[in-house]
Structures are given as C-alpha cells and as structure tokens.
C-alpha cells in the first residue's frame, strides 16, 4: 500500500467491467450506461448526472426513493406498472422524512415516463430518488434544498431467471428488521436498507441466494428487499405491516388472491412455520414473484415452485404485460420507436395514462 495516498489506493476501473465497458456481472443489477438521467427538472447526459460529495443525504441516509418497472406489452407498446402507487409512496416517504418534493405528483409521474422514453427503454427499471442537497452539514439539514433525480436502466430478473423458474435458496439472517419506532418503516428510505445490505452479503457469503429477516420479536418480517408469502393447506399468509415496507407488489398479490377467491391472512408467523409451509415466495418490483425452494437447508414443499405460486407468477406477468384486461388500470402506457441509425431506440411521445 502506498502510504502517501498514491494511485494504488484508487479503485481499478475494470473491476466490474471488461475492456469493452460491458458488465462482468450480468444478472446482479450492474447498470449499463444509457443516454440520460432526469435531474431537477431536466434530462442531462448520463455522464453529467452528478451530485456534490457534501450532499446531506449521501452522509446521513435520509432520502426517499422508489423502484418501478416497465414492461413491453404483447401488443408492442410498453407500460409502467402501478406508476401512480409508486409515486404516491415516494411522496408519502418524503412526508414521513419531513421534507417536500419540489414537483407535483403528475410532474414526477410524467418525468419517470419521459426518462424511459429518452433512453429508448421499451422495458426497464426506474429509480426516482428525492434527497437533501448540500449546504448545512451535521445531522440537522436546516434548509438545504430538496432535489429529485430519476434514472432508468435495463434490468432482468433480480434473483435470476433460474430463480424465477426453480426457486431460490434462502437463509434466515442474523440481522433483524428495525422496530417501528427505530425507523419509520412505512417509508422507503435509503438508510433503511443498511441492514438489508448486510443480510444479503451474509446470505451470499454462505452460498444462499437471498436473506430472510426477522422482526425485533423474532417473527418473520421480509427479505432484504422483498415481501414474503407462505402457503399451507390452501391458506396464504403474509406478514402484517408492523415493521415492513408496504410493498406495492405485495398489495398486487393480495388483490389477485382475493379475485381468485383465495384466503389471504396478514398475520405474524415464525421461521419454523415457514419451514413447514407447502409453498413460499418472495415478491417485489425487482424480484417480481420468485418461488422459495429452500429455507435454512430445509426444502419448502417439494423443493420447487408450487402450484399456487405458479398461478400467481403467471397471473402477475399477465397483468404487467397487458394480457389481463381486468388489471389494465395498473398500466401507464408509452411508446418508443426504432432508431434508424442502429444505435438503439429514439424517443417517442408518451401515451395518455
């Protein structure tokens, strides 16, 4: 190590990308460079989307954010899934943090679609984040400006295509979810994910795909970034909104279940109840509907995707891809058109909500 702080201390720019600039970790969420990012009211070139190192939220973790997916529909158009609900949660999270987003609801919704179109993404992941800018340092941010950034990128199956089909292996974490009065658990806040990062790293280091976190009382809470459902004797159970994020995909699954006439119970359950479930699955915007085939080395059911999980996974993808008319209310459509230069796609105007 160079004690004078020379180049040996700097990260290798090729650590995560090969010489062509392509990610060596496809499937792990590494973001490939696109055209532009929306920042404080305007699209800026991808490489110019920067914040100051003294940005308050960068130091103290108080930023509200969302993860939203868009899908290519069977008719050739594209649509953002449950955009309104995601943007409402973004505003709710900001309110819980005690700051006001300097744009109205419709402007933020439109900017999400605009960002997808500007980057030629017929299918993608959208990340709006409202944060406290630079100015005053220290825990109290005083009147530092509130800023908003919206990025979009290509993202496949968060827990892997194989995981979607065969199910994933899960480890109960040594890290617990926050108590409700330790963190405002109804808010999707950047700082809340520190324990999720630790839990996921722990699970991966032990050879598992994902972590399952317990609440402060030892009951099952959720994954590092997903909600959980279990099925036993035909009854679906999911954890109540005590110390977990109110997931939009969770809400989707509950509505789909009720439409199918299935019983859904929002009730605490223990890890050993999860062990003896007939089926279990994670759900979330990133993870979609991913079956759990094993928890702590114990096979769940027959150790693969069960019939109820399969039903929900199929219906979920029908809904997000516009194949279920009943759920067209959840789709905000838009279009991209081919770029005749062959360099990707060029923008087209957004369709009406």
pLDDT at position 139 over 70? yes
Q: How far is CA 210 from CA 141, 223, 268, in A?
A: 35, 7, 20
> What is the predicted pLDDT for the residue at 336?
84
Q: What is the mean pLDDT of residues 73-85?
A: 95
pLDDT single digits (tens) 185-206? 999 999 999 999 999 999 999 9
Q: Directed axis angle between helix 83-97 and helix 248-259, to 10°?
A: 130
Please give the CATH number for the structural domain made up of 161-326: 3.20.10.10
How does residue 31 score in pLDDT terms, banded at 50, 70 and 90? confident
Indicate the domain borders of the chain.
Answer: 11-153, 161-326
Q: What is the mean pLDDT of residues 323-344?
A: 76
> What is the predicted pLDDT for the residue at 28?
58
Told to judge if 201 belongs to the known catalytic residues of this protein, a careful annotator would answer no
Question: Count of alpha carbons within 13 Å of 325, Cβ hemisphere only?
Answer: 0
> What is the predicted pLDDT for the residue at 3?
39
Max mean pLDDT among 6-10, 29-33, 269-273 falls in 269-273
Q: Mean pLDDT across the chain, nearest whole number?
A: 89
- Helix, strand or coil for residue 307? helix
Q: Catalytic: which of 188, 233, 311, 329? A: 188
Detail the DSSP E strand segments found in 261-320.
264-266, 279-284, 288-295, 298-299
- Separation between Cα atoms, residue 254 and residue 45, nearest integer Å: 40
pLDDT at position 338 over 90? no
| C-alpha closest to that of 159 among 171, 169, 146, 151 | 169
pLDDT at position 183 over 50? yes
Q: How far apart are the first and last CA of the chain?
A: 56
Q: What is the mean pLDDT of residues 162-182?
A: 94
How does residue 263 score in pLDDT terms, banded at 50, 70 and 90? confident
- Separation between Cα atoms, residue 65 and residue 101, nearest integer Å: 11
232 alpha carbon, distance to own chain's centre: 27
- Separation between Cα atoms, residue 244 and residue 264, nearest integer Å: 17
The CATH class of 11-153 is: alpha beta
- Please state the pTM of the whole predicted model: 0.88
pLDDT at position 345 over 50? no
DSSP letter, residue 35: S
Q: What is the mean pLDDT of residues 263-275?
A: 96
Q: Which residue's structure tokens are 């005083």? A: 142
Q: What is the mean pLDDT of residues 88-106?
A: 98
pLDDT single digits (tens) 230-255? 999 999 999 999 999 999 999 999 99
Instruction: Write the DSSP assignment of 116-158 as a string of letters.
Output: HHHTT-SSEEEEEEEEE-SS--SS--TTPPEEEEEEEE----T
């Amino acid at each position: 190590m160079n004690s004078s702080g020379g180049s040996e201390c700097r990260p290798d720019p090729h650590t995560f990308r090969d010489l062509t600039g392509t990610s060596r970790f496809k499937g792990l969420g590494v973001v490939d460079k696109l055209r532009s990012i929306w920042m404080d009211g305007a699209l800026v070139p991808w490489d110019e989307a920067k914040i100051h190192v003294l940005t308050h939220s960068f130091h103290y973790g108080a930023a509200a954010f969302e993860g939203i997916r868009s899908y290519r529909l069977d008719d050739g158009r594209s649509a953002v899934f449950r955009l309104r609900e995601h943007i409402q949660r973004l505003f709710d999270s900001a309110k819980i943090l005690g700051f006001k987003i300097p744009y109205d609801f419709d402007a933020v919704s439109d900017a999400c679609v605009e960002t997808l179109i500007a980057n030629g993404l017929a299918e993608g992941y959208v990340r709006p984040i409202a944060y406290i800018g630079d100015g005053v340092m220290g825990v109290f941010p005083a009147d530092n400006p509130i800023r908003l950034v919206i990025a979009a990128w290509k993202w496949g199956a968060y827990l892997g295509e194989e995981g979607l089909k065969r199910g994933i292996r899960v480890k109960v974490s040594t890290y617990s979810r926050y108590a409700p009065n330790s963190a405002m658990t109804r808010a999707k806040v950047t700082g809340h994910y520190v324990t999720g990062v630790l839990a996921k790293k722990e699970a991966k280091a032990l050879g598992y795909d994902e972590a399952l976190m317990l609440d402060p009382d030892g009951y099952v809470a959720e994954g590092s970034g997903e909600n959980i459902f279990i099925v036993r004797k035909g009854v679906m159970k999911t954890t109540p909104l005590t110390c977990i994020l109110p997931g939009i995909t969770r809400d989707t699954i509950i509505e789909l279940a009720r439409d199918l006439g299935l019983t859904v119970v929002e009730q605490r359950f223990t890890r050993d109840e999860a062990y003896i479930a007939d089926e279990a699955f994670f759900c979330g915007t990133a993870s979609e509907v991913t079956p759990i085939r094993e928890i702590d080395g114990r096979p769940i059911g027959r150790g693969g995707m069960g019939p109820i999980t399969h039903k929900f996974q199929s219906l979920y993808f029908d809904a997000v891809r516009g194949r279920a008319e009943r759920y067209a209310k959840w789709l905000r459509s838009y279009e991209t058109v081919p770029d005749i230069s062959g360099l990707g796609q060029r923008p087209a105007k957004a369709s009406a909500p």
